[in-house]
Amino acid sequence: MGAAAGLYFRVLGPLTVERDGAPLDLGGPQRRLVLALLLAHANATVSVDVLVDALWGEAPPPSFRVQLQGLVSDLRRRLAPGRERGAAPIVTRAPGYLLEVPEERLDLAQFRAEVAAAAQARAGGEHATAVRLLRTALDRWRGPAFCDIPSPALEHRAAAVDELRMAALAECVDAQLADGRVAELGAELVRLVAEYPLHERFHGQLMTVYARTGRRTVRRAAGAAPPDPLGSLCRSAGQRRRDGHRECLPAAAAGHRRLRRARAGAVPGAGRGR
């Protein structure tokens, strides 16, 4: 996977790619969507059918294969400027394309690894280590996953990734409780319960804090505490997905709405002949 050397991919928030710390120009929305889909299924083949459906829905142009090849070719050039085609991590593999990216080059993969390491630490009774690992993992988030790619093809995948953040936040609270850090949790949990009224795990955690410290103490702390960085990052999954598009790229969201309206009046394609 040497082709990804020097590259770092970020999907926990707006899609960005850096080479040796400098952001790359990924081009227009179609190129970004193709790259986002490849990253959502990193190290696995994404079929031509899936990419074409995401790009053009039920009415692909007659030259969709040539256009898709052109998009992928341009992405390769942008990921490895001034280098040979093989220097880019996008590989042609039937029935489509694959993006080769090692764990340390993708923020989502690192997040998953840190959450898994925290679970191992907790199983071994190392609760403070688990808290540190989970906070490092949560700090990687810059907003809802893929939030500047307003595509129905990514919505389910992005929502599932967002749920991983919710689970990690709850695990972090549990690890702090197990480590005896009860006093510092009250204000954070009051905010989380208010934002996630249907999330039973946060309610149970808040009840535990009430039992250990007293309800009035927690409420006073919640009223006086400054905004919490983890709590402020986490809103309900559905609301974060709706807000995220507006926060990350309002123009892209508006463009997607116009595209959907245009498609609604179009005659569906008669088939792709693939």
- Domain 2-104 listed as CATH 3.40.50.720: no
Residue spans per domain, the chain: 2-104, 107-252
Residue 134 has pLDDT above 70, yes or no: yes
Taking the C-alpha atoms of residue 146 and residue 40, their distance in angstroms, rounded to an integer, is 9
Q: What's the Cα-to-Cα distance from 266 to each of 21, 151, 192, rounded to whole Å?
A: 43, 18, 44
Residue 169 has pLDDT above 70, yes or no: yes
Residue 94 has pLDDT above 80, yes or no: yes
The fourth-level CATH superfamily of domain 107-252 is Tetratricopeptide repeat domain (1.25.40.10)
User: Considering the chain, what percentage of its residues have pLDDT values greater than 70?
Assistant: 77
Average pLDDT of span 167-183: 94
Q: pLDDT, tens digit, for every residue of 5-21? A: 899 999 999 999 999 99
Sheet strands (E) in 56-200: 90-93, 96-99
- How confident is the model at residue 160, as a pLDDT? 97
Q: What is the mean pLDDT of the chain?
A: 84
Q: pLDDT, tens digit, for every residue of 181-216? A: 888 898 899 999 998 898 899 999 999 999 988 776
